[in-house]
Amino acid sequence: MSDANWNRLLVGIVLLGVLWIYVSRVPVEASNTPAPATPQTGFTAPDFTLKTINGQSMTLSSLRGKVVLINIWASWCAPCKAEMPAIENVYRRYRDSGFVTLAVNSTIQDNQADAVAFAQRLGLTFPILLDTDGTVTRLYQVRALPTSFIVGRDGKIRDVILGGAMNEATIASKIQSLLSEGAH
């Protein structure tokens, strides 16, 4: 290849690079929009309303004053299956003390029939919510199943547990102190 052809090729590559940078740039209006906040410890839990497997609507903010475990799961998820009996036992032990479990089935990654069968097979007594369009899964930026958020009486996230199966002692220890905070 001659020097002139080599130079033309390099100029062409540089021009294509500049064109690509221009075409793929972030629009000004998008760059001024703040990214959605990642739900994290110390911040107010994002509010949501979902239907239960029985068709009733539940809204997180209506539970203010209670300690809430939001557990996002799917019926095919092995760690979800492993931790559900522990969650159920802790729920039964502390529900009269102001503890609520919201089991949010990531139905967009699962299906309602399997979620219902899963809950029935394990004898779960806490509310099973259906995230049929993935709103809560996206809102809480779930990257692994199960993911759990423990919300204090004040509506703030106190703990985030990503993946892995929680055991009964871990769950109980995390909520006991929150239940004693501001108990009347």
Q: CA 91, CA 80: separation in Å to the nearest integer?
A: 16
For residue range 4-24, what is the model confidence (pLDDT) as tens digits?
Answer: 888 888 788 877 766 666 655
Residue ranges per domain, the chain? 1-33, 49-180
pTM of the model: 0.79
Does an H or E element contain 122, and which?
helix 112-122
- What 8-state DSSP symbol labels residue 77? -
- What 8-state DSSP symbol labels residue 74? -
Q: Dihedral, CA atoms, 93, 82, 57, 125, nearest 10 degrees?
A: -40
Q: CA 43, CA 31: separation in Å to the nearest integer?
A: 24
Higher pLDDT, 21 or 36: 21
Place 165 in a pLDDT band, splitting at 50, 70 and 90. confident
For residue range 64-81, what is the model confidence (pLDDT) as tens digits?
Answer: 999 999 999 999 999 999
Topology of domain 49-180 in CATH is Glutaredoxin (3.40.30)
For residue range 141-162, what is the model confidence (pLDDT) as tens digits?
Answer: 998 899 999 999 999 999 999 9
Q: CA 124, CA 104: separation in Å to the nearest integer?
A: 13
Does an H or E element contain 124, and which?
none
pLDDT of residue 20: 60
Helix (H, G, I), strand (E, B) or coil at 67: strand
pLDDT of residue 17: 67
